[in-house]
Amino acid sequence: MGFPSDLEIATSASLRPMNEIAEVAGIPEEFLEPYGAGTAKIGLGAIAAMADRPKARYVVVSAITPTPLGEGKTTTTVGLGQGFSHIDKSATIAIRQPSMGPTFGIKGGAAGGGYSQVIPMELLNLHLTGDMHAVTAAHNMCSAMLDAHLFHGNELELDQHNITWRRVLDVNDRALRNTVIGMGGRLDGVPRQTGFDITAASEVMAALALASDLQDLRQRLGRIVVGYTKAGTPVTAEELKVAGSMAVILREAIKPNLMQTLEGTPALVHTGPFGNIATGNSSIVADRVGIHTGDFLITEAGFGADMGAERFFNIKCRYSGLAPDAAVLVATVRGLKAHSGNHKIVAGKPLPEALLAENPDEVHQGGDNLRKQLENMKIHGCTPVVAINAFPEDHRGDLDAIAEIAAEYGARSALATHFADGGAGAAELAEAVAEAAEEPSQFEVLYPDEAPLRDKIHAVATRVYGADDVEYSSQAAKQLDTYEAAGFGDLPVCIAKTHLSISSDPKLKGAPTGWTLPVREVRASVGAGFIYPLCGDMRTMPGLGRVPAAAGIDIDADGNIVGLS
């Protein structure tokens, strides 16, 4: 009999009552708002009520540059959280809420895997407490008010050819990327070209993730720029008189969701900002609760350390005021061999035999990616630990090669088998992280608030990505000048580029050098609180594949969900 599926493992687990999970975390019961049997909202009053409790050690989990094979960041985050209980320490994990678009597409869910999962797995991947839908509704309320404003005379003199606000849905639907609205009769609105993004890409989602409380969220929503006048003056959601209604819609969504792992470790699940054009991190309010819930708070940053971790350091920590004590960098033998560039990996097809053969030299060759990502942790003053996420078919020589690379850079490493063995398989990793977190924190952001936007972009491009320089299109240069003139120059930058390479070219593996970062366009998420330069074609509305996961998801005769992965 083979290894059980994630869904089989999850559905066979016994849920502990949510008040017991809250008690483990030290969250006062009066702030617990149960939502069925598997989760609960946490009232924001818990932040002040727990403020006098000791602060946990703050740990961020990131990874090498993603490959189609998957490195297991969420699984490692969950396994590490469980692992601390095996060394007599307490931990809480904080992860993003998955988007249903990828869940029904090709990526699958994001509850972890094997014996390191957040449960109920079905609830986490399907709606949860409705936060995604609240973000969708708040965003589209702004869209509706904008088009009503145009219909009723356009008092704010918005330039219809320079409206930046689109609509969102939590689905993968390529046919909605570019649309024309207002078709029909005179009473059906003003015809114009627009489109849809996936909800995770909404600036409302990014604002929700970076807000420190409800009033801060209200202010961020008001600062959202929906478009510009012909004179180039930004028009905001506040001026549309819609920011208040958006905040009301999000009044419950700003409360973090409390869940549990298979071993009863408290899990905070909240927000899911897109990893390419936004922070790719869970919320600040979840971390403000979690930082007082035990010995360790472990949070996950999306994609590789050049993406999610860089944004964690330079955007999330800048706004939260929290400083990490250590960082975990997840690496796999298969992932590093893929970064050697020696193998052609095709989704849905068997892995090349050569990739599965023992070859420590190839691990070292692809290890350039790991070396650069370790540097990226260290330039922010964060002590890294390499989590060697082991698979049953891995060879000892290949696994040892990863440990050798970590040692070259003075980093701790630990073999982790948490997928198969749960928390016990991450106990060694937990010990290494605990030791790293005891070292004095040297954390610092990469650039100061007052630095010019071009200097901020240059710092990330050259120091984190390894680029030689940055090249701006004439449009991008003009946009940067406009944003600085409008007073947006103090915002941090969130560079939108491919997640498949440290560079801006998805075909380049390892740690490319001798290249220039091309910035073709620059956009402003003023409400969320960052400027995002576009370096490539970023798809903000994914499409479904020929055989999406949705085709295999169903309900059986007993009403149980089947096929979810």
What CATH number is given to the structural domain containing 430? Answer: 3.40.50.300
Q: Which of 413, 438, 463 is the last residue of a domain?
A: 438
Angle at 330 between CA 329 and CA 332, to 5 degrees: 140
The reply to whether 69 and 186 lie within a common domain is no
Number of Cβ within 10 Å of residue 347's Cβ equals 8
- Residue 307 main-chain phi, psi, to 5 deg: -110, -85
The reply to whether 215 and 270 lie within a common domain is no
The reply to whether 236 and 103 lie within a common domain is no
- Does 313 reside within a domain? yes
The reply to whether 263 and 378 lie within a common domain is yes
Cis, peptide link before residue 54, omega less than 30° from 0: no
482-489 long-range contacts, Cβ below 8 Å, gap at least 24?
482/232, 483/453, 483/522, 483/524, 483/531, 484/452, 484/453, 486/234, 488/524, 488/526, 488/531, 489/452, 489/453
Beta bridge pairs of residue 112:
117
pLDDT tens, residue by residue, 205-237? 999 999 999 999 999 999 999 999 999 899 999
Residue 391: burial class (beta carbons within 10 Å; 0-12, 13-18, 19+) = middle
Q: For 441-466, b where at least 16 C-beta lie within 10 A, e where not — what string?
A: eebebbbeeebebbebbbbbbebbbb
The reply to whether 470 and 429 lie within a common domain is no
The reply to whether 405 and 264 lie within a common domain is yes
Instruction: Write the DSSP string, 495-548.
Output: -B--SSSSSS-TT--SS--S-EEEE-EEEEETTTTEEEEE-S---SS----SS-
The reply to whether 365 and 425 lie within a common domain is yes
CATH of the domain at 135: 3.30.1510.10
DSSP SS3 for 185: coil
pLDDT at 381: 96
Q: How far apart are CA 248 and CA 367, in angstroms?
A: 49
pLDDT at 105: 85
- Does 543 reside within a domain? no
CA-to-CA dists, residue 153 to 14, 148, 156, 243, angstroms? 59, 9, 9, 20
Residues 32, 42 contacting (CB under 8 angstroms): yes
Matching residue, tokens 């999850």:
10
- Does 550 reside within a domain? no
Q: How far apart are CA 284 and CA 322, in angstroms?
A: 9
**What is the H or E stretch that residue 227 is in?**
strand 225-229
Question: What is this structure's pTM?
Answer: 0.95
- Does 377 reside within a domain? yes
Q: In sequence order, what are the residues at sequence separation of 6 or more whose Cβ sits closer than 8 angstroms to the Cβ of residue 226? A: 142, 146, 158, 163, 164, 165, 235, 236, 237, 240
Counted domains in the chain: 3
The reply to whether 365 and 281 lie within a common domain is yes
Instruction: Write the DSSP string, 5-51.
Output: PHHHHHHTSPPPPHHHHHHHHT--GGGEEEETTTEEEE-THHHHHTT
- Does 549 reside within a domain? no
Q: How far apart are CA 543 and CA 106, in angstroms?
A: 10
pLDDT at 533: 96
CATH of the domain at 469: 3.10.410.10
pLDDT at 346: 78
- Residue 139 main-chain phi, psi, to 5 deg: -60, -50
**What is the H or E stretch that residue 104 is in?**
helix 100-104
Residues 7, 562 contacting (CB under 8 angstroms): yes
Q: How far apart are CA 519 and CA 496, in angstroms?
A: 9
- Does 423 reside within a domain? yes
CA 320 to chain centre: 16
pLDDT tens, residue by residue, 155-190? 999 999 999 999 999 999 999 999 999 999 999 999
Q: Which of 224, 249, 274 is the last residue of a domain?
A: 249
The reply to whether 120 and 211 lie within a common domain is no
- What single DSSP character describes residue 488? -
The reply to whether 270 and 150 lie within a common domain is no
Domain, as residue range, for 200: 131-249
Angle at 177 between CA 172 and CA 178, to 5 degrees: 160
By residue count, the chain amounts to 565
pLDDT at 349: 78
Q: Give me 54's structure tokens.
A: 């000791």
Q: What is the dihedral of CA 237, 200, 40, 553, to 10 degrees?
A: 140
- Type of residue at 429: L
Q: Which of 407, 438, 469 is the last residue of a domain?
A: 438
CA 174 to chain centre: 22
CA-to-CA dists, residue 410 to 4, 44, 72, 413, 463, angstroms? 38, 40, 23, 10, 19
CA 101 to chain centre: 15
Residues 401, 376 contacting (CB under 8 angstroms): no
Q: What is the dihedral of CA 232, 451, 503, 365, to 10 degrees?
A: -170
Residues 59, 92 contacting (CB under 8 angstroms): no
**What is the H or E stretch that residue 181 is in?**
strand 179-181
The closest alpha carbon to 291, from 2, 505, 26, 473, belongs to 26
Q: How far apart are CA 69 and CA 410, in angstroms?
A: 27
- Does 277 reside within a domain? yes
The reply to whether 98 and 225 lie within a common domain is no
- Type of residue at 551: A
The closest alpha carbon to 80, from 436, 432, 415, 423, belongs to 423
pLDDT below 50 — which residues of the chain?
none
The reply to whether 264 and 234 lie within a common domain is no
Q: What is the dihedral of CA 273, 279, 281, 287, to 10 degrees?
A: -110
